[in-house]
Amino acid sequence: MTKAIVVRTLGGPEVLKLEDVELGAPGPGEVQIRQAAIGLNFIDVYFRTGLYKAEPPFIPGKEGAGTVTALGAGVTDFAIGDRVAYASADGAYAAERNVATKHLVKVPDGISLETAAAMMLKGMTAQYLLLQTFPVKPGSVILFHAAAGGVGLIAGQWAKALGATVIGTAGSQAKIDLALAHGYDHVIDYGKDDFVARVRELTNGAGVDVVYDSVGKDTFPQSLDCLKPRGLFVSFGNSSGPVEAFNMGLLAQKGSLYATRPTLFAYIATRAALDACANSLFDIVQSSKVRININQTYSLANAGQAHADLEARKTSGTTLLIP
């Protein structure tokens, strides 16, 4: 038996209940891990509410880190005692769990399990956004919404290390100050200012090369007006609600723009792709060019409060659940 959060009906944070659940031996190609920490992400909210489809009952969560305690049949690439982490294995909200090895990476010495749990999903998201979806380089000018969020704080530092001019948006002075301390050159208070006008002002009317948007409904279609001709709009989340369907002709009207809706899971779908993305993240963190700050921790039993605070935008940066 182990302790886990089980969602038995879709709904608000109150549906997140801690239960005793059976934990069998790991199956073929799986290992069992004792979790040190679990990452909290907005995608967990999407599954809890039913925006993303999952059939109750289920254990939510995709990100965590821990120590291997048992091996399933055929496992040769991991050993008992290995420190491991993952970002795309459903069922993370548990003290112990079985995980298919295809989802796991080994955590390097010098990176704590708590840091690994805090950064795998958010950090690899920043990696694919900045190095693959739109390869940021010296001279690039980017706009990153939700600059003080978990992905935003990592992306600001990483983009600055790549030589970009980094513009962000945030919803309070405290979050603006936090983002400015994490690589951003300029941060716009989108609750007070017209972010389109401010972006145009900051870029002398030119616009940005790329907009990274995890907010969704509240920042669309205004984000398109921040782009240079032939710029790229990257919609990688929808914390305020999904972007509604729109006429593709809008992209032509606003300057022959490009738009994409990527997900991390398509970028780490193979072992080679997962290892490359994770190693890139480990390297930038170990170089000290990107630091991972764990700004909130909750007990696993208090996952409902963690979700409520996340949705109310009371959190910043990275949040962990501790079994």
Give the span between the Cα atoms of 192 and 195, in whole angstroms: 9
Extended strands (E) in 218-265: 227-235, 258-260
Give the span between the Cα atoms of 75 and 140, in whole angstroms: 44
| pLDDT at site 121 | 94
- Contact indicator for 122, 39 with CB cutoff of 8 Å: yes
pLDDT band at 126 (very low <50, low <70, confident <90, very high): very high
The C-alpha angle 193, 196, 197, rounded to 5 degrees, equals 70
Residue that is written with structure tokens 């779908």 in the block: 269
Give the span between the Cα atoms of 252 and 202, in whole angstroms: 24
- Contact indicator for 124, 51 with CB cutoff of 8 Å: no
Checking if the pLDDT of 219 tops 90, the result is no
Give the span between the Cα atoms of 156 and 166, in whole angstroms: 7
Residue that is written with structure tokens 């200012």 in the block: 193
DSSP classification of residue 242: P
pLDDT band at 113 (very low <50, low <70, confident <90, very high): very high
Kindly state the average pLDDT of the residues 31-38: 98
| pLDDT at site 284 | 98
Kindly state the average pLDDT of the residues 98-111: 97
**pLDDT tens, 11-22?**
999 999 999 999
**Strand (E) or helix (H) holding 54:** none
Query: Residue 227 class from Cβ within 10 Å (0-12 exposed, 13-18 middle, 19+ buried)?
Result: buried
Checking if the pLDDT of 308 tops 90, the result is yes
- Find the helix packing angle between 42-49 and 303-311, rounded to 10°: 100
